[in-house]
Chain A
Amino acid sequence: MDRRDFLKRSLGAGIAAGAAVTFVGFPNIIARPSKSIAGNPFDLVAVKGGEPGAMFDKAINSLGGIKNFVKPNQTVVVKPNIGWDTTPERAANTNPELVYRIIQQCKNAGAKDVYVFDHTCDTWTRTYANSGIEKAVKDAGGTIVSGDSESYYHEVEIKQGKKLKSAKVHQLILESDVFINVPVLKHHSSASITVAMKNLMGVVWDRGYWHRNNLHQCIADYAAFNKPTLNVVDAYAVMKRNGPRGVSKADVVTMKSLLVSTDMVAADAAAAKLFGAEPDQISYIQIAHDMKVGRMDLENLNIDRIKI
């Protein structure tokens, strides 16, 4: 249903009244530091062999601790993949234990609010509940927010975009001080694999536009516009086929891995290697590298490799 249709249909519902609320200015998305943190020697941290929470602790310590990214009284938005109405062992959504630990660390660093949302594919109330993420967020003291209402999304211009010139983006992404992107590494029927850059499709309202207008280019375009403060790639359990939804538990292998980087392209390239694919064979990684969104030449990057 396109927007006009939606409006037409919801006229009688009085919902249009709510949609009329306007917002002005989103300074944070422009001002947010996207470069790597000063004094940090590593472009990428890769951890292997531990539980999700413990691996995150190791990785964030390697980058100088969460305090390098989250300052007291800041608002944080954590964006896991909560796309599918499946249970955690199916690994279609980000590991809830990892989400829990990230929020906990942010809270410990003095974050005022930690918000979590995703624009889901299946019905959001069910994916939030059945992924275990809603509970993890509440237990860790975060706030879970719906990504299911167009009214949350606000039009922004994407100057860098070749195909994607504008997008409606969730206000939490636009307004929060810190943006932590927490994708799960998976096979993906459209994009080959989904990691950090592809996960950002869940912060915009109209994904159909991307699909219609050169998906790979749009993924790279948006990545050029909106760089998260930190990317934490969950590769604890990895869906090797039938992604991104998966058909059964048999699609999943345990890899007990985690990647952390401020550079989405580096994170995606390393994740591709873990998955068993070559980064330059995945179009959006190559395009993003060429657009200088980040670097996929892992051999030239400073990587901290940690085994537990």
Chain B
Amino acid sequence: MKLALLKKFRVVISLLFFVFTAILFLDFSFSLPSKISGSVLYLQFIPSLVKFVQLVALSAAGFIIVLILTLLFGRVYCSSICPLGTLQDFISYISKKFKKKKKRKFVFLHANNRLRYSILVITIIFFVSGSLFAVNMLDPYSNFGRIVNNLARPVMLGINNASAFALESINVYLIYPVEFKGLDITLLIVPIVILGLLLWLASSKGRLYCNTVCPVGALLGFMSKFSLFKIIVDEETCTGCGACEKVCKSSCIESKNKYVDFTRCVSCFNCFDSCPTNGLKYEFALKRKVKFKDVEIDLSKRNFISTTLVYLFGLTTIAKAQKQVEVYKDNTVPVVKKNPVSPPGSISLDHFTDSCTACHLCVSACPTQVLQPSFLEYGFLGMLQPHMDNISGFCNFECKICGDVCPSGAILPVKLEDKKLIQIGKVKFIKENCVVETQGTDCGACSEHCPTKAVKMEPYVNPNFATPNLRIPTINDEICIGCGACEFACPTKPYKAIYVESNPVHQIAKKPEVEELAPVDTEEDFPF
């Protein structure tokens, strides 16, 4: 096989991964992601790793495949599988078109090992101490997900809605506008910062982000030292023309010294394509010793140890601090949600916060938009991990898509029949806030929406009003599943009269009792 062909192969594979991953986050028919996300995202490193740590299951072995691939061929993940990597290639490609100089050239840069391995070490320490905070902020797949879900998706919905309005004015209802909930501006800071960093780095320095910021890049880079196949310069055929160095987006080829820093190589294979003399080889590493002139590696080892010590002690307390936080306070009648509500299938707040990488795929796949990125609900370290926001929506009784799409095992897939009994929280009623109490008129919006009738309307005499036949909500939290439909529907302002208090550990609700009704004689006369 000609080595130059490898680049074409890589381009095709990377586009496939990129397009399908983007579709997962952009789909608003709410049907596709649950069908294909499992296979599309199987190889995404961080979600798979997180899931594996939790489950130790074959369904979560994608990251092992990536590790094996890396040990064989280097960082193929970074150029072929990682959607954030391909996004950078797009940025780089487009910026090249706009640059005055026709041919933009990359030049060899020295590795910033201190920075990249420090970030890796910090991330690992967070991870080991039980917090996904650093992983969530830095995981390239999750960052890609957030950029698409929080920035690209709203733009796409905006275009869709504008088209829907245009067509509707000529009475064509072929496409429909999508009501968009959520999107708190403060939550956009992280994706905007990351996208800005990518735009800057990718347009000027190729894959510098992957080789300085990205912990997955650093980890796989470290692993690729031991890769069986490595790209090296063939000193006999190489003429030192520097063509490969100019196309190397990782800036890891130093043509004058005929040297390739394979730990920073993202295996894009552009160099093979560019070389006029077959001066580069993808060589079986055991065949001959590759010269490494990386002196800084020792420094980073030292760095590893020192940072380890610092962070090991500082972090466990921070990690614990995220568990107990007030969600909001009602100024008139004190309503305090003790904990955020995590989606059905996430077992417990601990399981969820320990395994969610905040990629927001569940957020974009949720048909009711009840799943929203959190700000401080799970604490600072749980920032951006989604929670059930009953102001935006409520959990549809007949839906379990979030568990089907979650790539990291934070929300485990459950059978629909089981999901209907998973109690993620319990209903609480504040009579003092209820319309029936304050206005003396019928309402019942909560009970209408309740799928199990854990909220029922019972006759009530309001001492302050003479309204006949009044009914007030009564609750039976044994059969409540915490879906939040009552809270969503409750019309009182500014505070709700009914809400869901989280179950920090999910429980099983009782099944509603079913009594048969006597059949009606359809032959009878009309009662009027």
Give the interface of A toward B (CB within 8 A).
1-2, 6, 9-15, 17-18, 21, 46, 48-49, 85-86, 113, 115, 121-123, 125-126, 130, 143-146, 148-152, 188-192, 207-209, 211-217, 238, 240-242, 244-245, 247-248, 250-257, 269-270, 273-274, 276, 281, 283, 298-299, 303, 305
Contact = CB atoms under 8 A, between A and B. Distances in A.
Contacts of B469: 192, 281, 283
Question: Max chain B CB contacts within 10 Å: which of A6, A13, A257, A303?
Answer: A13
Contacts of B184: 9
Interface stretch (B211-219, B298-306, B512-520): B512-520
Contact of B445 (A85, A144, A211): A211
A106 B512 CA distance: 42
B328 to A, nearest CB: 14
Contacts of A17: 158, 162
B183 A189 contact: no
Contacts of A274: 526-527
B526 A305 contact: yes
A124 to B, nearest CB: 9
Q: Is the interface of B mostly helix, strand, loop or mixed?
A: loop
Nearest to A17: B162
A212 B491 contact: yes
Interface string B12-40: 00000000000000000110000000000
Interface string B149-180: 00000110111011011001101010011111
21 contacts: A1-B391, A9-B183, A18-B158, A85-B396, A121-B448, A123-B396, A123-B399, A126-B367, A146-B177, A149-B176, A188-B444, A190-B442, A190-B471, A208-B445, A212-B492, A245-B449, A247-B452, A248-B512, A273-B527, A298-B528, A299-B528
Contacts, number: 200
Nearest to B518: A253
B451 interface: yes
Given A85-B397, A256-B522, A190 B177 contact: no
Contacts of B471: 189-190
A10 B369 CA distance: 14
Interface in B409-462: 435, 439, 441-445, 447-453, 456-457
Contact of B519 (A85, A151, A209, A253): A253
A121 B30 contact: no
Contact of B516 (A18, A48, A144, A250): A250
A123 B528 contact: no
Nearest to B456: A189
B158 A14 contact: yes
Contacts of B450: 245
B493 to A, nearest CB: 7
A126 to B, nearest CB: 6
Contacts of A303: 526, 528
B180 A13 contact: yes
Contacts of B443: 190, 211-212, 215
A1 B392 contact: yes
A8 to B, nearest CB: 8
A9 to B, nearest CB: 5
B182 interface: yes
A191 B453 CA distance: 16
Nearest to B447: A189
A214 B439 contact: yes
Contacts of B515: 250
Contacts of B182: 9
B124 to A, nearest CB: 35
Given A85-B397, A208-B445, 7 more contacts: A9-B183, A14-B162, A18-B158, A122-B396, A189-B448, A250-B516, A274-B526
A62 to B, nearest CB: 14
B161 A253 contact: no
A-B CB proximity, top 10 nearest: A190-B444, A14-B158, A208-B491, A13-B154, A146-B176, A189-B447, A149-B177, A214-B441, A211-B491, A273-B527
A48 B396 CA distance: 35
A167 to B, nearest CB: 14
A244 to B, nearest CB: 5
A103 B517 CA distance: 33
Nearest to A275: B527
A276 B518 CA distance: 13
A247 B162 CA distance: 39
Contact of B398 (A121, A126, A248, A251): A126
B181 A1 contact: yes
Contacts of A270: 528
Contacts of A125: 29-30, 367
B180 A212 contact: no
Nearest to A298: B528
B466 interface: no
Contacts of B157: 13, 15
B396 A13 contact: no
B368 interface: yes
Contact of A46 (B164, B392, B526): B526
Contacts of B520: 238, 253-255
Nearest to B473: A189
Contacts of A240: 517
A183 B528 CA distance: 20
Taking each of B162, B179, B397, B489, which has the highest tally of chain A beta carbons within 10 Å of its own beta carbon? B179
Contacts of B159: 14
A274 B525 CA distance: 10
